[in-house]
Structure 1
Amino acid sequence: MRRSSLLLSTRCYTRHHPSVLLSLPPHLLFVSKPSGMLSHPSSAVSSLPSPPSAAPSAAPSDPTLVDWAKAHVLSTRGTQYANLVGRLDRPVSGVCVVATSKKASRRLNALQQLASASLSAHPGFQKSYLAIVRPAPANLSSLRSSLLEPTPHASSPPPSRKPSSLTYTPLHVHPPYALLSVALHTGRKHQIRSQLAEIRLPVASDPLYGPKKASKHPGALPLHCYSVRLEHPVGQGEVIEGRASVPKWWLDRYPREIGEAAGRFVEAGVEPQEQ
């Protein structure tokens, strides 16, 4: 694989509006999704495109990331094809990949499925996250886990349980919080949130997998997909990366040392070595 990497970083310091990280017409668009925005339309959400300047609020009729992407490619490229490859939960922020051609969509979906089935880091499709957890881990070493998907609290019926794999590395500890870098190898629903909770390192303020009490900030979690790195689906083996800085509200809501450490890590562009 030829690794002529394209990289564009942006300071995504907004919770109200997506921002374009990297545009590679006619096939790809990397977008930074703000926390609080749905990825895909649902029965309660309008799927009609909105202007790229539209900002989501808490109303159920807000545009989704797919809506926004369709409007963006329509206004910039004259086409409305935009297929989101993968998704982020509504309260999670960070990099999303949008295929803007059918060829790219088919190949990216196949590549993502191949990476997910491998249960380990795959050079063709890699997603990396930052998470603030509470409590801080006692063991400051990397851990590879191949757990089965747990059920959020015991009140809901057990889901189909599939092998899941991720690797986390503590980056900074400021009790009772810690900053983790998480490499996601499979793409299960709520995987990072559920697996970290399984080993008693829940994402801070997570109302679903954390302590059984309502979050003070239900619309946003300190879980951020800071990097998506993949092989160009229609290129000659180029490795492309979209990288997004952490939201500014991390600095306001959690210990400033944690937020600053997250910012330095993303801007440095250095990945932790798996053990």
Structure 2
Amino acid sequence: MSDKLEITITKEQGRIDKVLSEKLPSYSRSQIQQWLKDGLVLLNNQQVKANYKVRAEDHFIINIPEEKTLDIKASDIPLDIVYQDQDVAVVNKPQGMVVHPSKGHPDHTLVNALLFHLDHLSSINGVIRPGIVHRIDKDTSGLLMVAKNDHSHASLAQQLQDKTTLREYTALVHGNIKHQKGTITAPIGRSKTNRQMQDVVEDGKPAVTHFTVLEHFTDFTLIKLQLETGRTHQIRVHMKYIGYPIAGDPVYGPKKTLAGNGQFLHAGVIGFNHPVTDQWMTFEAALPEIFQKTLANLEKPIDF
């Protein structure tokens, strides 16, 4: 059976989704928006839309859906678990692994491995994405937060939405970036010419990427990137947009590039407040072996 919450508005103002997310900190705003979309939030027995502006004395009944039983098959796939406790886990996803099952990848995903190695996973994202709070691309390696219960999931999702998490990447890009630091602010949405790709488009969602140059090579630059937003393919799209595509990227980069297993992009640092203790936690993962070997074999510029 689903849980039922009753909330009366006193002095709060603004959209119902924002107000409820503030009054129910255990649930993310995106989760509350889904409840509104599903007709689970009622005012005077009438469904409420997400843009409804609350008024004093409004009395809402919220039918919180029951957690779904997870039915994706657990698989004994090797998994690098960097940290775990009863609420959260941090895993180091290898390059080439899809995060969750889909029509094209029904198994052998990170989710299949998580179900085998971890005792509990949150159910907020349904049976296909248990525990998954955020994603990285198949051919991007690195760290991911995993929620082991719904309270933790809501907290981590809210931190992502509030932009208080730390997500730091290392990438090898084509060309020599002249500036030591930079910020790319350009909206991202589905490409107008290829629906399978993302692109910088005028009506896209806001996207901000910060970068710092770490090292120059003859034809490449090693950079550190920090995400302020988390759009699909954000780093890959933004670096292509400014003329320095990720090396090895089969979609957004040159066809002839360095040999490897996909783009040279690694989510090496992640930080967040623990959902229960509120303690700030930071984790790091070294570059994959193929990334390290590639860097060791690159030519250094004589003068830059």
Scaled by the length of structure 2, the TM-score of the pair is: 0.64
Q: Cα distance, 1:257 vs. partner? A: 6.5
Give the secondary structure class of the aligned counterpart of 1:203.
coil
Q: Is the 8 A contact 1:83 1:105 kept in 2?
A: yes
Whether 2:80 is the aligned partner of 1:41: answer: no
Whether 2:283 is the aligned partner of 1:242: answer: yes
Scaled by the length of structure 1, the TM-score of the pair is: 0.70
- In structure 2, give the amino acid aligned to 1:146: T
**Compared CA separation, residues 130 and 248, structure 1 to 2 (3 A):** same
State how 1:244-259 maps to structure 2 within 5 Å. Answer: 244-256=285-297
Give the secondary structure class of the aligned counterpart of 1:240.
strand
- Which of 79, 100, 116 does residue 18 from structure 1 map onto? 79
The residue that corresponds to 1:10 in the other structure is none
Q: Cα distance, 1:92 vs. partner? A: 0.1
Identify the structure with bigger relative contact order (alpha carbons < 8 Å, sequence gap 6+).
Answer: 1
Q: Cα distance, 1:216 vs. partner? A: 6.8
Mapped to 2, the partners of 1:205 and 1:215 lie a distance apart of 6
Mapped to 1, the partners of 2:225 and 2:251 lie a distance apart of 19
- Deviating more after overlay: 95-104 vs 248-257: 248-257
The residue that corresponds to 1:99 in the other structure is 147
The residue that corresponds to 1:199 in the other structure is 242
- Which of 111, 117, 128 does residue 72 from structure 1 map onto? 117
- In structure 2, give the amino acid aligned to 1:149: I
Whether 2:83 is the aligned partner of 1:83: answer: no
CA RMSD of aligned residues (A): 2.4
State how 1:52-71 maps to structure 2 within 5 Å. Answer: 61=107, 63-71=108-116
Give the secondary structure class of the aligned counterpart of 1:197.
helix
- Deviating more after overlay: 157-166 vs 65-74: 157-166
CA distances 1:23-44 after superposition (whole Å, capped 9, x unpaired)? 12x1000000000000111023
State how 1:1-275 maps to structure 2 within 5 Å. Answer: 17-24=78-85, 26-46=86-106, 61=107, 63-74=108-119, 79=120, 81=122, 82-115=130-163, 124-139=164-179, 141-149=180-188, 154-156=193-195, 161-211=204-254, 213=255, 219-235=261-277, 237-256=278-297
Q: Is the 8 A contact 2:248 2:261 kept in 1?
A: no
**Compared CA separation, residues 257 and 37, structure 1 to 2 (3 A):** same
Give the secondary structure class of the aligned counterpart of 1:133.
strand
- Deviating more after overlay: 189-198 vs 36-45: 36-45
Give the secondary structure class of the aligned counterpart of 2:159.
helix
Q: How many residues align?
A: 212
**Compared CA separation, residues 219 and 240, structure 1 to 2 (3 A):** same
- In structure 1, runs of 5+ residues without a counterpart are 1-15, 47-60, 116-123, 259-275
- In structure 2, runs of 5+ residues without a counterpart are 1-76, 123-129, 300-304
**Compared CA separation, residues 218 and 172, structure 1 to 2 (3 A):** closer
The residue that corresponds to 1:52 in the other structure is none
Q: Is the 8 A contact 2:88 2:152 kept in 1?
A: yes
